[in-house]
Amino acid sequence: MNQAILNTEEIIIKYKPLVVKAVCKIVKNKMDAEEVVNDALLKALDKFRLYQTSKGSFEAWLCTLAKNTALDFINKKDYRVWKTSTDKIPDLASKIEIYDRRLGLCKKLLNGTLNEPNDLESLTIKLLYLENNKYEEIAEKLNINIEYTRVLKHRAITKFRKIALCKAA
């Protein structure tokens, strides 16, 4: 057997775990990490002649080469966080849902329907002013805390004022 091939096999067997560890810190997907590890080992074998003992240990040189290969892979493949593993996909779905809700609120705001008091705000005003209930009684009836009752009243009054100003104009 050729001595160069034997050295190549020894290098791969001895240093592959080190390369895997360095790559997996950057590339989270196992399939992509395996690809990057193989590329890094091939680059290391190809560029072995460039290694200089005076500039540091072989392990440090190999780790740097592996990390740079992983970073090149991420930049080249337009690799994003949500592609790293399947457990990140629900986070993306929830972000899309939040975006859709925000978009819906913006549409309501543009249409003016957001400025109308909701049922809970209207009920709070009705109980407070028409039925002369106290904040404690309203909170108990609606099963909410007293501070939230005050918040609902404030929101409703603000919205009613906006409606009155729009109709007066």
- Domain assignment present for residue 98? The answer is no
pLDDT tens column, 115-136: 667 788 888 888 888 888 999 9
Phi-psi region of 118 (alpha: psi -120 to 50; beta: other; left: phi over 0): beta
150 closest CA partner among 130, 121, 126, 119: 121
Are 46 and 114 within one domain? no
User: Measuring CA to CA, which residue among 49, 82, 53, 47 is closest to residue 66?
Assistant: 47
Q: Pick the last residue of a domain from 41, 56, 85.
A: 85
State pLDDT tens for residues 48-82.
778 888 888 888 888 888 999 888 888 776 554 44
Among candidate residues 15, 14, 37, the one with its CA nearest the CA of residue 25:
37
| Same domain membership, residue 59 and residue 32 | yes
The DSSP call for residue 52 is -
Q: Are residues 147 and 110 in the same domain?
A: yes
Q: How many structural domains compose the chain? A: 2
Indicate the DSSP class of residue 88.
G
Q: Indicate whether 11 and 49 sit together in one domain.
A: yes
Is 76 inside any structural domain?
yes
Q: Considering the domain boundaries, does residue 92 fall inside one?
A: no
Which CATH number covers residue 13? Answer: 1.10.1740.10
Same domain, yes or no: 46 and 16:
yes
- pLDDT, residue 89, reads 45
Whether residue 124 lies inside any domain: the answer is yes
In a domain, 97, yes or no: no
Answer yes or no: is pLDDT of 97 > 50: yes
Q: Do residue 67 and residue 124 come from a single domain?
A: no
Q: Which of 85, 116, 141 is the last residue of a domain?
A: 85
Question: What's the whole-number average pLDDT of the chain?
Answer: 75
For residue 142, give its domain range: 104-168
pLDDT at position 94 over 60: no
DSSP label at 143?
T
Check whether residue 50 and residue 8 sit in a common domain: yes
> Percent of the chain at pLDDT above 70?
67
Q: What percent of the chain has pLDDT over 90?
A: 4
Residue 132 main-chain phi, psi, to 5 deg? 55, 40
Q: How many other C-beta atoms can be found within 10 angstroms of the C-beta atom of residue 71?
A: 14
Is residue 37 over pLDDT 80?
A: yes
In this prediction, residue 2 has a pLDDT band, given cuts at 50, 70 and 90, of very low
Question: Is 90 within the bounds of a domain?
Answer: no
Residue 136: what pLDDT? 92
Q: What is the CATH number of the domain that holds 141?
A: 1.10.10
Q: Which of 85-89, 91-95, 136-140, 161-165 has the lowest mean pLDDT?
A: 85-89
Question: Dihedrals φ, ψ of 117, to 5°?
Answer: -65, 140
